[in-house]
Structure 1
Amino acid sequence: MAIVASELHWVPETLYNASVSCIVVNFKKYRRELPQLPRNVQFDVYYKLYKQGNLCQLAMEFSDLGQFEVVLKASHVRNKRNLLHHCFQALMDHGMNLATILSDAFSSRATLLQSDQRVEQERGLHLGFYWYRNHYLLFDVFLGDFLSEAGWFLQAEKTYNSCLKICEQYEDNQSLARVFECCTRLIHVQTSNCRYTEAEASYQLGTKILHQLQNSGLKIGASVLEAEKCALLFSRSHYDEAYQYCLRSLHAMNSSSPIHSIINVLRTASKACVVKREFKKAELLIRHAVSLVREHCGTRHPKYSDVLLDFGFYLLNVDSIIQCTAVYQQALDIRLAAFGGQNLHVAVAHEDLAYASYVHQYSSGRFRDAKDHAEKAISIITQILPDDHLLLASSRRVKALILEELAIDSDDKQRESKLLQEAHDLHSSSLNLAIKAFGEFNVQTAKHYGNLGRLYQSMKKYKEAEKMHLKAIEIKENLLGEDDYEVALSVGHLASLYNYDMALFEKAEKLYLRSISIGKKLFGPGYSGLEYDYRGLTRLYAKTSNFEKVMQYHNILTQWSQMREKTSGPVDILEYLANCHSENTTMEIVDTFFKMDSHQSCIGSGPSRDDAKRPAVK
């Protein structure tokens, strides 16, 4: 009788995996021999250490700058970057401040290298940041770039500054080109970390070096530098200037630019177009950026989450809030998978999703998810950054907006009062941070005043509310013009205050009509924000016994509702993104951009609420 082999109840490891496991089990014994193994094998051993929870041993290995360089190179060549992020973030969460340890070690090495031979300096620079010999290479692979990619901006800045000091010792074109490269990366991390004064200084140095290189006959692109300047101005809410630098960066782009630079320019330019309400142009650029990232990076790379957040920003501003929420959720999922833990990139994604969820659920009053995301963002940021960091202002503001709505919907007066006071404390803190960073005369500061105005209305402090709204309108009109979207929002909020709480119906009517005019001009007759104005006017005319006008705006509101039902964005935005392939080259896209008409947008599905009080701006 033949003997039949019994079915295995376990799957044996491959010989390679068994060998890696053996090294990990006997790590102390084989540790000294590990550098003799190929880089990819060393990486797998370290990742196995992480998977088995040997974080203390892993921290000792990664704290060695030379050994971490080996791991960085292996993570790029073998496409294991996300795995390295897992290890790195676990060590940071464990209390090992590896980002600071490595940046300090590199800074010390760079100081020694300044008096060393040029060959040794070249090796040091190669670790600090990757010099693009091959412009088709997609993303940076060394320390400063890794730290920037992982969201440790202050440590990345220190690394780039160390590289800059080495490069500045020489005046040949190659060294100057490296100084220029350092400057563009410094602007990026400094802007991301809200160090705007330092970013401006880096831009000025970069501009000076660029002119020197161009005067010497070297062809070097200014596209990335101008895009980083655009991002800096955008972060400071200088939208007109940001848009001009967006145009300059696109004009300077050429087909030989590195693909990662092209993607960054497209992303930055798209956001600048959004705030200038150039929606058709914004969509053209961000769709092409999505297509490029999907093609070159795939859909699990952190860069894909970056471009998704920018695409979500576009959707949010063109009134496609349902689609925006879905896109933000996918971006958060990617960042959680890539970084997890207490990571700044994860916090930013939580904050964006918190605000989108707040707007999406405004009609239902179900703010649990929005509140959860806002609190997670605040928790992460406070563990990483100082309490007075500007990045906290935005997250606190979002939470304050949510708490205000929860208070309004509460039947418990004591709970209502407590929530409103907490919202007031958060708004006040955010306002103080904004004034400290931007001054009084800034769009961000105006938004904080407007949000305080809404809150005072909820707290029945109507004179204080009026004062805040008028201040917000004045600042926005002076900065953005009288027909800007931001102005319309503040005008609508003041109209609501006059109509519902102060019985100043004549003033309210004028403000409602002005808000409607701006909204229709920018977004068309199907804009979701028009509902609040139409409902407000219907109530106003009922209160003043103008029943002919009541019927008129009742019919207008009915027509608006029918229009909204007929108009929608993509049924499944994620499927839409999956099929987002560009048949045009980047230069063809740029050429199309400069030939397009302005101020056209798509219409999505926004929120509604019976009290005609629209959701606040972020």
Structure 2
Amino acid sequence: MFVRCDYSAAHRWSLRAQRLLTRYTPVKITVEVVRACGKACVVKRRFGAAGLVVRHAVGLARAAFRHAAPALRRRAAGLRLLPAQHRLHHAQRGPLGTLRNVFGRSSLHVATAQEDLAYALYVLEYSSGRFYKARDHAERAIHIIENLVPPDHLLLASAKRVKALILEEIALDTPAGQDMSEPSLLEESEALHKAALSLSMMAFGEKNVQTAKHYGNLGRLYQSMQKFQDAETMHLKAIAIKEELLGPEDYEVGLSIGHLASLYNYHMNMHVAAETLYLRSISISLKLFGERYSGLEYDYRGLVNVFTQLKRHDRADHYTRLLTRWHELREQSKAEQQQPAIGNEQIVPLEQLHEKLFGTND
């Protein structure tokens, strides 16, 4: 259910599995069930519950195995949507070595960990532009998977998507004329995104959130390639599929709307249309996450540009003030956050974990 992006069903099944755990369940199974429950809680935006069960899984794995390979291998992937992205990298480096020791260097477990680490590094280094370690891990993941499964296996779709995202950023940061020039990297990224889209279409069909995400990735890539009509087509497809499956006010819909707004705003001079989309994206974000949500920055900046181009300077000033206020709120959030350090996870009795998990309403 998780792979199919049916997150409500994935969450329900994970809770059913969680309820079946007892003190006599083997530790390995308990860790995996608790970890999967945490991952499902993340995509359902139940961040408090996610943090609770993931910390429990890590602590249990540390106590039982000395190394938290089964829990930590996915910890970063499970908490991608949470703040403090720098924790992703540190949460995965150790488990990768442990997995290699247990399963060997050419294992699907290792390949999955390599992919997770590649994505974590991609997020971590997004502002710095240092993507070469991320690229190396993504390529290793693809190499392992290609040697172990058929060429049309769905596992390749995710790994290729990660590599494509990384190549796109490298291309945009690479001066033209170097050996790895921008066009060749972008073309390779396009081929990877199309391959991932094809695999998703084969597995799920077009009317699936995963397929819609691949359309959206292609849309962003075509913006980078200055193929603006193609980019618009991809974004519109992504929005239509997500709206049909998830409803008009889902997080995924807001994400795609924001990408289309950016295309209209910065590349196609469709500022009135961009304004409408930005306002809708902001409405979804405020409703789901509140006024401190990180994604609001891009929408506020976009509206400042929209109204500057439309010479509506009073509105531009309004969103400049909102952007300033957003920065202040984010700084407050950083000061208020008290994230537990990795390695200090505590194990609570299973009954107490269940009470906290099924009693939480966050």
Q: TM-score, with normalisation over the residues of structure 2?
A: 0.92
- Residues 571/329 of structure 1: CA separation in 2 closer, same or farther (3 Å cut): farther
Query: Which residue matches 1:511?
Result: 277
CA contact under 8 A between 2:61 and 2:69: conserved in structure 1?
A: no
- Residues 570/366 of structure 1: CA separation in 2 closer, same or farther (3 Å cut): farther
User: Does residue 446 of structure 1 match 2:198?
Assistant: no
Selected match of 1:523 from 289, 297, 302: 289
Measure the CA separation in 2 of the matches of 1:294 and 1:453: 42
CA contact under 8 A between 1:283 and 1:314: conserved in structure 2?
A: no
CA contact under 8 A between 1:290 and 1:580: conserved in structure 2?
A: yes
1:382 is aligned with what amino acid?
E
RMSD over aligned CA atoms reads 2.2
Query: Which residue matches 1:275?
Result: 43
Query: Which residue matches 1:297?
Result: 65
- Residues 482/536 of structure 1: CA separation in 2 closer, same or farther (3 Å cut): same
Q: Which 5+ residue runs of structure 2 have no aligned equivalent?
A: none
Measure the CA separation in 2 of the matches of 1:467 and 1:283: 38
Measure the CA separation in 2 of the matches of 1:545 and 1:459: 29
**Structure with the greater relative contact order (CA < 8 A, sep ≥ 6): 1 or 2?**
2
Selected match of 1:480 from 246, 261, 266: 246
CA contact under 8 A between 1:325 and 1:357: conserved in structure 2?
A: yes
Q: TM-score, with normalisation over the residues of structure 1?
A: 0.55
Selected match of 1:540 from 303, 306, 317: 306
Measure the CA separation in 1 of the matches of 2:334 and 2:138: 28
Question: 1:596: Cα distance to partner?
Answer: 1.1
User: Does residue 393 of structure 1 match 2:157?
Assistant: yes
Measure the CA separation in 2 of the matches of 1:271 and 1:467: 32
Query: Which residue matches 1:347?
Result: 111
1:334 is aligned with what amino acid?
T
Q: Which 5+ residue runs of structure 1 have no aligned equivalent?
A: 1-232, 599-618
Selected match of 2:6 from 238, 247, 250: 238
Instruction: Give the share of equivalent positions with the same residue, in percent.
Output: 48
Query: Which residue matches 2:199?
Result: 433
Selected match of 2:356 from 573, 592, 599: 592
Query: Which residue matches 2:176?
Result: 412
Alignment of 1:565-580 (within 5 A): 565-568=331-334, 576-580=341-345
CA contact under 8 A between 1:390 and 1:434: conserved in structure 2?
A: yes
Measure the CA separation in 1 of the matches of 2:177 and 2:241: 35
How many pairs align? 360
- Residues 354/590 of structure 1: CA separation in 2 closer, same or farther (3 Å cut): same
Question: 1:340: Cα distance to partner?
Answer: 4.5
User: Does residue 357 of structure 1 match 2:125?
Assistant: no
Measure the CA separation in 1 of the matches of 2:97 and 2:279: 42
Could you say which structure has the larger radius of gyration? Answer: 1
- Residues 487/330 of structure 1: CA separation in 2 closer, same or farther (3 Å cut): farther
Question: 1:572: Cα distance to partner?
Answer: 10
Measure the CA separation in 2 of the matches of 1:324 and 1:522: 24
Greater displacement, 235-244 / 556-565: 556-565
- Residues 476/498 of structure 1: CA separation in 2 closer, same or farther (3 Å cut): same
Greater displacement, 289-298 / 418-427: 289-298
Query: Which residue matches 1:319?
Result: 83
1:507 is aligned with what amino acid?
A
1:249 is aligned with what amino acid?
A
Selected match of 2:54 from 286, 294, 302: 286
Measure the CA separation in 2 of the matches of 1:564 and 1:394: 31
CA contact under 8 A between 1:450 and 1:468: conserved in structure 2?
A: yes
Q: How big is each residue's C-alpha offset from its partner over 1:414-472, in whole Å with a ceiling of 9 and x where there is no partner?
A: 82211111111111111111111111111111111100111111122212111111111
2:167 is aligned with what amino acid?
L
Q: How big is each residue's C-alpha offset from its partner over 1:280-303, in whole Å with a ceiling of 9 and x where there is no partner?
A: 12122111111211222212xxxx
Selected match of 2:138 from 352, 365, 374: 374
